[in-house]
Chain A
Amino acid sequence: MMETSVQYAWIIAILPFIAFALIGLFLHRWPRLSAALSILAIGIAFLISLLVSLAVFSSEGNLVYEAAARWLSMPGLQVDMGILVDGLTAVMLIVVTTVALLVQIYSLGYMHGDPGFASYYAYQSFFAGSMLGLVLANNFGQIFVFWELVGLASYLLIGFWFGRNSAKEAAKKAFITNRVGDFGFLLSILFLQILFGTLNFNGLAGEIAGYTNTGILIGIAILMLAGPVGKSAQFPLHVWLPDAMEGPTPVSALIHAATMVAAGVYLIARAYFIFSSTPQALLAIAVIGGFTALFAATIAIVQNDIKRILAYSTLSQLGYMVMAMGVGAMTAGMFHLMTHAFFKSLLFLGAGSVIHALHDEQDIWKMGRLAGKMPVTTWTFVIGALALSGIPPLSGFWSKDEILLGAYASGHIGLYILGTIVAFLTAFYMFRLIFVAFFGSGEGGLKAHESPAVMSVPLVILAVMAIIAGFVGSPLMNNVFAHWVSYPGAVHHNPSLGIMAVSSLVAVAGIILAWAVYQKKMVNVAAVKTRFNGLYQLLYHKYYIDEIYQWLIDHLIDGTAKVLFWFDVYVINGLVNGIAALTGMAGQVLRYTENGQVQTYAMYMFAGIIVIIGLVMMAGFAIVL
C-alpha cells in the first residue's frame, strides 16, 4: 500500500486544481461550499502526501519514483511533464500540504464574512496546486511553469483586497520584481536545453557530472540563482516581500512565509548538482544569503508593524537557508526550510489572530496586555518565537544549529560569526515584539478577545509541530532527516556541543536584552533612538533601498524611456510617415499629367509601344522569337 502510493503522487497536485476549477466555474456563488471543497481537496492531498512521504522516509530516502508523459515533441526538443518523488520532494509535500491545510481551516475564521470568500478559496486552491506541481516536477521546464503559476497566485492573493491602493501596488511590485529574477532563471533553462538537450533533473545531473567547461557552468548557475533571489526575496530583489504583507494574513503565513518563498531554496536544493559543481556559484549563494540574513535582521529590529517585523524575519531566515546551501549544507538548508515553515506560519497566523481581534490594528505599540485576553494566541506565539530564536529543544534550534555547524565546518568562519550575530538579533527582535505587543503596558490589547476555535486549533497544531518537527534532524533521532534529503558527496559534520552552546547562549542573551529593554525599561528607548538617530533612520527606512530603486526608476529607466520615446517618435515614426508623405507628394505632382484628354492618354500608349518596339529592335529579334 505504502510503496505503491508514490505512483499516485500526481493526484496530490491535481486535486487542488480541480477544486480551483470547480469553485471558479460553478461554486463561486456558494462561499461555504467553495471553502468546504477547497479544504476537502487539500485535506485529501495531505493524506496522500502523508502516505507518499511515509513510503519514501521508511526507505531512508532510497525510494525514488519518476514517471513522465511526453508533452510536446519536435525535432531537437522534447518536453516532458512528469513527477519525481524522492526525499526532497516528500519533505516539501508534507510541509506544503500541512501548512496549506491548516491555513485554509484558519481562514474560515479569519476571512469570515469577506465578500470575496469564494474567490479567496479558489486562489488558495490554485496556489496549493501550483506549489505542489512545482515540488513534484521532474524537469526544469515544468518547474518553471509552476514557478510562474505560484507567482500568479501570489499576485492574486497579495492584491486580494484590491480596493486598497497599497494592496494593488504591492501586488504589482511583487510580480514585477519576481519577473527580474525569473528572466535569469528562464535564460539558464534555455542554456541547459541548448547545451545538453534535456531538462530532466536526473538526465542533467549525469550530463553535468561529465561536463568540464566550468566557465559556462558558472554562467548558468549564476543566471539560475537569479530565480531564487527573486522568489525567495534575497538581496537585492527582496523589496517585494515586506510589501506583500498587504495581503490577508493567512496568505502571508502560507505563501510569503512558509511555502512559496521557500521555493527558491527548494530550487537551489533541486538543482544542487549544478551549483555544487562550481565553487564560485556556491560562494555567491553563501554571500548573498548571509548578507540578506544580517541585512533583514537589522531592519526587523526597528519596525513597528507586527507583520513587517515577521516579514523581515522571513527574509532573514530565507537568507539563512540560502547561506546554508552556499556553504554546502544543503540538508541543513532544507531542514531549516521545514522547521521554519511550521514556526513562521505559526507566528503569522498568531499575528493574524491578534490583528483580527484588534480590528486590523498592526502597530505593536498600539497593542499591549494581550497575554491576559488571548492566552492561546499568546502562548503559541511565544512557542513560535522561541523556536525561531533557536532555544533548545524547539525545532528552530536544531535546524539553525545545523546551518551554523555547516558554515563553521566548511571553513567559512566569517559566515558562521555572521550567522551567530543574526541568531542574536532574531531573538532580540522577536522578543521585542512579544514584550511590547503581548506583555507591554499599552492599553490597546484590553478590548481584544480570543479568536474562535477554528483559528486557535491550527495555532495549537502548528505550535506542536514547531516544538517537535526539529527532532527528525537532531542527534536524538540519529539525524534521520539527513538520510531523507541529501546529495551525492554531501559531508555530514558531527554535531558540536560548542556551537550549540554558543547559539543557545546568544539567543538567550537576545531574549534577556529584549526583556530588559522593553519589559523592565532598564534602557530609555527614546534616548537611544535620539542618540543614534542616523542609524535608526537608516534602519527604519530599510537602508533606503526602496528609495534608491525609485530614484533609479525615475532617472535611469524613465530617462532611457524618454530617449527611446524620442527615437520612436522622430526616427521610427519619421521613417514610416516620411515614406507615406513622399508617396503622397509624388501623387500630387504626377496627377497634373492626367488632363482628362483621351487623345493624350492614347499618345502615351503609342509612345510606349514605340519605345518597346525600339528596345526589342535594339536587342535583336532573336530574344522575341
Chain B
Amino acid sequence: MIDLTAYLLLGTVLFGIGVYGVLSKRNAVGVLMSVELMLNAVNINFIAVNKFVASSQVIGQLFAIFIIVVAAAEVAVGLALILAIFRQKKSVDLNDFNLLKW
C-alpha cells in the first residue's frame, strides 16, 4: 500500500517541474504545457488527500474533474492567444513579447 506521502511527493515534484517550466521556457507553447503540469500536480494532491484524509469520497474527485475542464478551456484560450500573437510577431519566443514595459 502506497501511503499519502508518496502521492504528495509526486505532486510536489510535478508542481516544481511545472513552475520551472513556466519560469524558464522561452517557447510560449512550452509554458502552456508547463502550466498543465502544475494543474495536474494539484489534481494528484486533491485525489490523494481525498482518498486518505477526507470523510466524503467524492468532493476531491469532483474538484479534479472541474480542474481538468477548466484546464482544457484554458489551453484552448491560451493557444488562441499564442496564435494571434504569432500572426503579429512571427514568433512564439516570450522574449519578443515585451510590449508591457516602461
B is bound to A: yes
> Does A595 touch B at the CB level, under 8 Å?
yes
Q: How far is the CB of A588 from chain B (nearest CB, A)?
A: 10
CB distance from A25 to the nearest CB of B (A): 63
Across the two chains, which residue of chain A brings its CB closest to B28? A598
Is residue B23 within 8 Å, beta carbon to beta carbon, of the partner chain?
yes
Indicate if B6 sits at the interface (CB-CB under 8 A). no
Of the listed stretches B40-48, B50-58, B60-68, B92-100, chain A binds B92-100
A602 B23 Cβ-Cβ under 8 A: yes
Contacts of A591 in B (CB 8 A): 102
Chain B 73-102 interface mask (CB, 8 Å, partner A; 1/0): 000000000000000000000110111111
Q: With A597-B95, A598-B94, A599-B94 as known contacts, state yes or no: A606 contacts B23, CB within 8 Å.
A: yes
What distance in Å separates the Cβ of A560 from its nearest Cβ neighbour in chain B? 48
Among B31, B100, B102, the residue within 8 A (CB) of A592 is B102
Partner pick for A597 among B19, B22, B24, B98, CB 8 A cutoff: B98
Kindly supply a per-residue 1/0 record for chain B positions 9-30, scoring 1 wherever the CB is within 8 Å of any chain A CB and 0 otherwise. 0000000000100111000000
Within 8 A of B (CB), among A554-607: 591-592, 594-599, 602-603, 606
Give the one of A592, A596, A603 with max B CB within 10 A: A596
Known A606-B19, A606-B23; contact A594-B102, beta-carbon cutoff 8 A: yes
Distance in Å: Cβ of A309 to nearest Cβ of chain B: 79
Contacts of A595 in B (CB 8 A): 98, 101
With a cutoff of 8 Å between Cβ atoms, the chain B residues found around residue A597 in the complex are 94-95, 97-98
Which of chain A's residues has its CB closest to B100's CB?
Answer: A596
Q: How far is the CB of B25 from chain A (nearest CB, A)?
A: 8
CB distance from B16 to the nearest CB of A (A): 11
Q: What's the Cα separation between A252 and B96 when bound, in Å?
A: 87
Collect the chain A residues with CB atoms within 8 Å of residue B99's CB: 596
Give Cα distance in the complex from A207 to B22, angstroms: 85
A residues less than 8 Å from B23 (CB atoms): 599, 602-603, 606
Residue of A591, A592, A594, A597 with most chain B CB atoms under a 10 A cut-off: A597
Q: How far is the CB of B91 from chain A (nearest CB, A)?
A: 14
A599 to B30 CA separation, bound complex (whole angstroms) = 12
Which 9 pairs from chain A and chain B are nearest by CB?
A: A596-B101, A596-B98, A596-B100, A591-B102, A595-B101, A603-B23, A594-B101, A594-B102, A599-B23
Provide 29 A-B residue pairs closer than 8 Å at the C-beta atoms, listed in order of the A residue: A591-B102, A592-B102, A594-B100, A594-B101, A594-B102, A595-B98, A595-B101, A596-B97, A596-B98, A596-B99, A596-B100, A596-B101, A597-B94, A597-B95, A597-B97, A597-B98, A598-B94, A598-B97, A598-B100, A599-B22, A599-B23, A599-B24, A599-B31, A599-B94, A602-B22, A602-B23, A603-B23, A606-B19, A606-B23
Other than the known A591-B102, A597-B95, A598-B100, what 14 A-B pairs have Cβ atoms closer than 8 Å? A594-B100, A595-B98, A596-B97, A596-B98, A596-B101, A597-B94, A597-B98, A598-B94, A598-B97, A599-B22, A599-B31, A599-B94, A602-B22, A606-B19
